[in-house]
Structure 1
Amino acid sequence: MSERYSTPKFRLRVVFGPGEMIGPGKAELLENISRTGSIAAAGREMGMSYKRAWQLVETMNDMFREPVVLSTRGGASGGGATLTETGQQVLAAYRSFETEARSAAGGQIARLQGMLRRRGNAK
């Protein structure tokens, strides 16, 4: 009896230049910021430190002509963060590209998966 393989993970990263890229982690961070209204909460949901989440937001804000996230300082009234229109467009473009690439690569991924060595108690 052969062990079945799980569905392969498809991870797409677009590299624009040194230190300038967007991939599944930054896209998830943007989605979480949009949903939670907080950079800290978005990072926590991903097991990411507050500092790291802020660094990624700053990197993305510096990468694009317009900021992708706007934030307000915390304090007694609390802070917050929102995706800008540019941020929404960046996220939508990345997710669309990811969907199209996954669809286009499906046959080749299946081909590669078919060539994998059997694991477990296969005879």
Structure 2
Amino acid sequence: MKSNNPRVRILIGAATALGPGKVDLLLAIDRHRSISGAAREMGMSYRRAWLLVDSMNRSFTSDLVVTSTGGKGGGGAEVSALGHDVVRRYQEMEDKAAQSVALEASEFAKLLKDPSGDA
């Protein structure tokens, strides 16, 4: 996705159930099969990543990330089928939102000092 496209946040009450950062975390967990590996990739603490995973898992009908404890084979984390479905739906909503406001977003970006977001 282009950096100047609007980003979608899905709110439930006052809490953000899902947004771009959480989706990025889910995708990183899927790549690494590890919360700590995903946290390292994203430059965040394990605690912060764990709190975000816990928040997502509490917000949905079942866990988006399933963890296993360490041992001989080591622990790990997997994005569940629901997690993959949620990511897919979120990405579709972002694409639709970006398409529907493309002209307005382009005009709005012209009003910013640095429309690329690299300030």
The 3-state SS of whatever aligns with 2:78 is: strand
Equivalent residue for 2:18? 22
Compute the displacement of 1:99 (Å). Answer: 0.9
The 3-state SS of whatever aligns with 1:71 is: strand
Q: Percent identity?
A: 38
Q: Which 10-residue stretch deviates more, 7-16 or 44-53?
A: 7-16
The 3-state SS of whatever aligns with 1:10 is: coil
TM-score (norm 2): 0.85
RMSD: 1.8
TM-score (norm 1): 0.82
Q: How does 1:45-56 map to 2 (within 5 A)?
A: 45-56=41-52
Larger radius of gyration: 1
Residue from 77, 80, 105 that aligns with 2:76 = 80
String of CA shifts for 1:35-79, please: whole Å, max 9, x gaps: 110011011111110011010101111000111010001244211
Q: Is residue 106 from structure 1 mapped to residue 102 from structure 2 by the alignment? A: yes
Structure-2 change in CA distance of 1:8 and 1:73 (3 Å): same
The 3-state SS of whatever aligns with 1:98 is: helix
Q: How many residues align?
A: 112
Query: In 2, distance between residues paired with 1:80 and 1:60?
Result: 17
String of CA shifts for 1:80-116, please: whole Å, max 9, x gaps: 1111111011111111101111111111012223445
Compute the displacement of 1:16 (Å). Answer: 1.6
Residue from 70, 93, 97 that aligns with 1:97 = 93
Query: In 1, distance between residues paired with 2:88 and 2:13?
Result: 21
Q: Structure 1, unaligned stretches of length 5 or more?
A: 1-6, 119-123
The 3-state SS of whatever aligns with 2:38 is: helix
